[in-house]
Amino acid sequence: MVFAGAVTIVTLSSCTKEQPASDSNFVSPSSYSPPISQAGNLYLVANNWVNYGNQIYVNTFKGVLPAGNASGSRTVMVYAIIEGKEVQISQTRITYKGNQLWANDSGVDVMINYQCNTDLPFSLLYIRVQVKY
């Protein structure tokens, strides 16, 4: 299954200009992606966008975050990798391709949000999720 996901990532990324240094570090939401068990990084590919109305497109990564710790002090930072550079999209909105892009987390899920008045102007976006305790 991992091989099929890697083939999908390579196939999809070959059509885009926004490629990070190595596609082998990224996991598509369509393939199995185990959650981060401790503090660390998770590299994902947002390519499953759903339009929820009001021109808000959302890509949800279900179950990728640890359930939490006893103290409840967990920080989740989400970065979009745009033109080879990481741009923080958690705790702030950025302008990407002329529209608003941001991320939020809820429990064990990470949501990538994009608001625009047209069809989605891209098909995938590379994401890094960093969890700190």
Write out the H or E segment, with its range, that includes residue 58.
strand 56-61
* CA 133/CA 119 separation, integer angstroms: 38
Report the predicted TM-score, pTM, of the whole model to 2 decimal places.
Answer: 0.73
| Amino acid at position 82, single letter | I
* CA 30/CA 93 separation, integer angstroms: 26
- Do 128 and 73 touch, CB atoms closer than 8 A? no
pLDDT in tens, the chain (133 residues): 444 444 344 334 433 333 444 444 555 554 445 566 667 999 999 999 999 888 999 999 999 998 766 556 889 999 999 999 999 999 999 999 999 999 999 989 999 999 999 999 999 999 999 998 8
Tokens of 130: 């960093």
In a 13 Å sphere around the CA of 117, the CA atoms on its Cβ side amount to 1
What pLDDT is attached to residue 66?
A: 84
